[in-house]
Structure 1
Amino acid sequence: MGLLRRSEATTSPDLAAAALRSDRFRLEREADWRRLEAIITAMEKGRIGKLSDADLLALPTLYRTAASSLASLRETSLDAATLAYLEHLVSRAWFQVYGPRLGLFGWLRSFLRGGWSAAVRALGPDILITLAVMVAGALVGWLLVTSDVDWFYRLVPGGPGEVRVPGASREELAATLGTEAGIGGLSTFAAYLFSNNAGVCILAFALGFAFGIPSLLLMVHNMALLGALLWLFDGQGLVVELAAWLSVHGTTELFGILLSGASGLHIGRAMAFPGDMSVLDAAGAAGRRSALVMVGVVFMMIIAALLEAFPRQLVAGTAERFAIGGAMLAFWLAYFFLYRPRGETDADAVP
């Protein structure tokens, strides 16, 4: 850095001894000062995601140590360069430790412009595991109702007047994929759908404390229901139409559910395999990362509910429905895995 140089040596024995003590004081603490400077520099550049949990936890202690050193140097040091360097460092650190925080809009801007996507990428292994479990769940649902049709009634909730049941005609099933004549009541329907979908996602996340196993079982159950419906409509040659009908909101909704299950699994995996950290520290770090993902999932559920209540109910064509669902899927994939704000690197997405 060039700032930690001792000022000119003096020929006086007393001053030489004082300078020696100043050098010893500096050398004993210089490593901590350099570490504090590296942490502060990363935070000032908006690269907090590159800092380890140990660095973030050490920040307050390093700041207090540097401030204490500064107070001592002001009384005893003959090294003007070191004193100036430390004064500048402590003032920068104060703003990071005690300075004003981001407001709501500042936080939201940071969240949408890299924070959320980086947190999602940090869940990469958990996303792949959860995706495999969800696909397996849909396959299990299909195979169960193929072997015994009674499984359909165990997997798919129904009620009086429900026509999406085994034995329904093609016309009856096709009618359930139709559109509404108007938008009256659809806003209430959207609110209901958001509440239901968000509840499933929050439950999948909350169950992660049990090593992620209940979260994965919830994924299997929900996807088995989808597999049973695909089997039912395939029997009447309507599986493509059903896929288009579901894709309008499903690419967003299922992606959100996938991230919720992965978030719960991420916490469970951190507890089961904490590595060099304690179980509580590993769970805490994973919980903060997963919670950030879950904030975004709530936004996804709002969007999914709106898509389900409006475009899905008002757009009739199979191609048009696929276009909407495909566009949403492309958007989420690009945002999470291709979007890289300036200054962010792949290291920001590593757990």
Structure 2
Amino acid sequence: MVNATRFRQAHEEDWERLDKIVTAIEKRGVRGVPEQALLVLPLLYCSTLSSLSVARETSLDKSLVAYLEQLCTRAYFQIYGVPTSPLRQLGHFFARSWPKAVQALWKETLVAFVLTAAGALVAYLLIRNNPSWFYVLMPDNMAQGRDPTASAELLRSTIYGTGHDGSTDQSTLAFFASFLFTHNAQIAIMSFALGFAFCVPTAGLIVYNGLTLGAMIQVFAAKGLAYGFVGWLMIHGTTELFAIMISGAAGFRIGLALLFPGKLARADAAVAAGRSAATAMGGTVVMLAVAGLLEGIGRQTITADGARYAIGIAMLLGWMLYFYWPRRNDGAAA
């Protein structure tokens, strides 16, 4: 039977020394601690971990066990963890983790783009040849009267928020814009969440989103308003649609890992693919928030088609550079 008092007296000096070093690192960082202390840190950690094992096996004082558990946990994170502040970790996410995760999904993102474009083209051609296809492809709650029978004035008010007399109708435009944003956000989330079902639902959602996009463009094009409608969409749509494609790409990555796990078990392959896919998907929340801000600004303050196109194209180029600009590997950064 281990004597608690003698056990504490024999090891307490090492515990206290470890506590002081860990506390110093937590307060000042690694650079604020002497090199000698850093060299002895792993030895003190192993010694304290051994003390904790003995304390548990011999049922020593519970408060002592709790103290040693807490001390070992703190030391572990300083030795094996990432000793950076939350702010620095957030900066690393935006500077490297997120863009590199999206960059790794470029093939899947390209597939999502092709599916979206194909869906839009099919819907556009179908409705141009037979307007009744619009009612097959578009849900009533999304169309809200913006269908092949709508007047040019009504459709124009959707783009510019003006009625017959030139007065602003921001309430109608706000409703339509917010509905589109909510719809696209749901598509983005579901495209990622359903990727585990071997890519099929994800591909279906991406194509469906393209179909609704093409259907709406054709309705406005039939009234000579295609240029204005596409400009209204572009100011926020280049960001919003890009986010959906990245979400779909993340879903594809997980689904493909399940379909073709290679030498890994399917569950292990899905977990490995899910790490990078989840990082890419996490950043799309930021993209959707940016799209919401652009939509609000564009709807309320920017009505010139040229300015809308310029902002939409600039945002697309900005995202492309941000994601696909070559970056050094983390190991080469030293």
Relative to the length of structure 1, the TM-score reads 0.65
Corresponding residue of 1:317 = 304
Which structure is richer in relative contact order (CA contacts within 8 A, separation 6 or more)? 1
Q: Tell me by how many angstroms 1:159 deviates.
A: 5.1
Corresponding residue of 2:111 = 129
- Equivalents in 1 of 2:299, 2:175: separation in Å? 15
Indicate the SS of the match to 1:205. Answer: helix
Indicate the SS of the match to 1:176. Answer: helix
Q: Tell me by how many angstroms 1:261 deviates.
A: 0.6
Amino acid at match of 2:222: G
Indicate the SS of the match to 2:140. Answer: coil
Q: Tell me by how many angstroms 1:339 deviates.
A: 5.3
Q: 2:130 aligns with which of 148, 153, 156?
A: 148
- Equivalents in 2 of 1:171, 1:138: separation in Å? 24
Give the number of equivalent residue pairs. Answer: 259
Corresponding residue of 1:263 = 250
* Mapping 1:291-306, distance limit 5 Å: 291-306=278-293
Amino acid at match of 1:177: I
Q: Does residue 202 of the first structure (1) align with residue 189 of the second (2)?
A: yes
Q: Does residue 286 of the first structure (1) align with residue 268 of the second (2)?
A: no
Q: 2:226 aligns with which of 218, 230, 239?
A: 239
- Equivalents in 2 of 1:283, 1:299: separation in Å? 25
172-181 or 216-225, larger mean C-alpha shift: 172-181
Q: Say whether the 8 Å CA contact 1:165–1:232 is kept in structure 2.
A: yes
Q: What do residues 264-298 of structure 1 show as CA deviations (whole Å, max 9, x unaligned)?
A: 01100111111222211111011111110111000
- Residues 307 and 164 (structure 1 numbering): CA distance in 2 closer, same or farther, change over 3 Å? same
Q: Say whether the 8 Å CA contact 2:246–2:284 is kept in structure 1.
A: yes
Q: Say whether the 8 Å CA contact 1:190–1:305 is kept in structure 2.
A: no
Q: Does residue 173 of the first structure (1) align with residue 150 of the second (2)?
A: no
- Equivalents in 2 of 1:111, 1:216: separation in Å? 28
Q: 1:275 aligns with which of 262, 270, 276?
A: 262
Q: Does residue 218 of the first structure (1) align with residue 233 of the second (2)?
A: no
Amino acid at match of 2:91: R
Q: Say whether the 8 Å CA contact 1:193–1:305 is kept in structure 2.
A: no
Amino acid at match of 2:232: W
Amino acid at match of 1:124: W
Q: Does residue 254 of the first structure (1) align with residue 245 of the second (2)?
A: no
Q: Say whether the 8 Å CA contact 1:201–1:260 is kept in structure 2.
A: yes
- Equivalents in 2 of 1:153, 1:186: separation in Å? 21
- Residues 211 and 97 (structure 1 numbering): CA distance in 2 closer, same or farther, change over 3 Å? farther
Q: Tell me by how many angstroms 1:102 deviates.
A: 3.8
- Equivalents in 2 of 1:259, 1:126: separation in Å? 8
Structure 1 residues not aligned, in runs of 5+: 1-62, 72-92, 347-351
- Residues 303 and 142 (structure 1 numbering): CA distance in 2 closer, same or farther, change over 3 Å? same
Q: Say whether the 8 Å CA contact 2:232–2:308 is kept in structure 1.
A: yes
- Equivalents in 2 of 1:161, 1:257: separation in Å? 20
Cα RMSD, aligned residues only: 3.4
- Residues 304 and 214 (structure 1 numbering): CA distance in 2 closer, same or farther, change over 3 Å? same
- Equivalents in 1 of 2:213, 2:310: separation in Å? 21
- Equivalents in 2 of 1:204, 1:136: separation in Å? 17
- Equivalents in 2 of 1:326, 1:312: separation in Å? 17
- Residues 155 and 171 (structure 1 numbering): CA distance in 2 closer, same or farther, change over 3 Å? same
Corresponding residue of 1:120 = 102
Relative to the length of structure 2, the TM-score reads 0.68
- Equivalents in 2 of 1:205, 1:186: separation in Å? 29
